[in-house]
Amino acid sequence: MKILLCCAGGFSTNMLMQNMRKVVQKSEVLKDEEFDFTAIPADALEQEIDGWDIVLVGPQIAHKVDYIQSVLEPKGIPYAVIDKDVYGQMDGATVLKLALVTHRKHVLKS
């Protein structure tokens, strides 16, 4: 699964991405080679969007969700906004679960 984290371009989203990667690496069920993570600033979304399975939106740019939706919907890519408290805790497990559940719902709906 290719997970794109969209943020304001800050250091904290990279930390969250690393925490998500650690969750996958420590898992007995998930396989590291089946996941790809990248964090980009929201302004680069249109140039970077092709090939991703899901986009996770940092709470600091939730105000840009209309723009993000306009880029993702035509390509059929699901997205979810990360809860600010979960983001603040750098809870990689909860954010990874959000990605998996959101992607699964999207696939089942298609």
Q: Catalytic site residues?
A: 7
Cβ atoms of 37 and 20 within 8 Å: the answer is yes
| Chain centroid offset of residue 76 CA | 15
Nearest partner of 19 among 29, 1, 34, 5, judged by Cα:
5
